[in-house]
Structure 1
């Protein structure tokens, strides 16, 4: 899987990784497959690379904090008859090292070499630092 690309997306309205997980758990109950998904208007032109091992990196409170592996892209039709892209995700959320990210609309491609590494399993269970502190530490290159 050396020919893949990731996506980065703001998790609008989410305050924490736990909040994202809770929202997805509730939302998945409404879906026949039970897999989380994010529906977007734009279809990735680099679809083969996205589904070849890519992940969606979630920006929460101005920081990349976690990721989910992308399983596939499904076509869905909105109530307005417009074709949309459902990014179908693996349910497991992997916490990552903090990486500051400015606000943007939609999603962006994220090269593998630009992604923050996953936290080790032991660190993923730690209580996260307050957002202001983790941002300050990330800005000076400590985390």
Structure 2
């Protein structure tokens, strides 16, 4: 069985997971078939591994807070004629345990062993902790 690899990306401008969901519900952030997407300049070289069960882990306010399964990579050409990659995502967003991350540009690969676990069944709908509290707990290794 082939292994998979994940992506990790900052969700710039969002205050929480609900903001990310609201953005993905806009027509600008969706494919023609209504799926959420994230458009990026670079095409992942590890495409087969990503499409073999990989997810994109979203960093919101310095913490990984959720993930979405990557369904496909679509080629998209901008108005400037430049080829870009639309990372097409499963609309189901899965909340994860919070994990502290420093800022970075673009996206990065994230090995499954380094990814935070999903929240346990029954906790995924809990009200998230305030970002400052989550960050403080992650810094001391509790979250």
TM-score range with shorter-chain normalisation? over 0.9
> In the alignment, does 2:65 pair up with 1:68?
no
Aligned to 1:101: 101
Q: CA deviation at 1:9?
A: 0.2
Aligned to 2:47: 47
What is the aligned-residue RMSD (CA, Å)? 1.4
5+ residue gaps, structure 2: none
Distance 2:28 2:57 in 1: 19
Aligned to 1:16: 16
The farther-off stretch of 61-70 and 133-142 is: 133-142
Q: 1:61 to 1:3 in 2, by over 3 A?
A: same
Q: 1:65 to 1:102 in 2, by over 3 A?
A: same
Contact 1:6–1:57 (8 Å) recurs in 2: yes
Q: CA deviation at 1:29?
A: 8.1
Q: 1:18 to 1:39 in 2, by over 3 A?
A: same
Q: 1:16 to 1:45 in 2, by over 3 A?
A: same
Tell me the secondary structure at the aligned position of residue 122 of structure 1: coil
The farther-off stretch of 55-64 and 119-128 is: 119-128
Q: CA deviation at 1:27?
A: 3.2
| TM-score (ref. length: structure 1) | 0.95
Aligned to 2:32: 32
Aligned to 2:86: 86
Q: 1:2 to 1:141 in 2, by over 3 A?
A: farther
Query: Number of aligned pairs?
Result: 143
Distance 2:127 2:5 in 1: 30
Q: 1:30 to 1:53 in 2, by over 3 A?
A: closer
Contact 1:28–1:35 (8 Å) recurs in 2: no
Q: CA deviation at 1:121?
A: 3.1
Q: 1:82 to 1:29 in 2, by over 3 A?
A: closer
Aligned to 1:130: 130
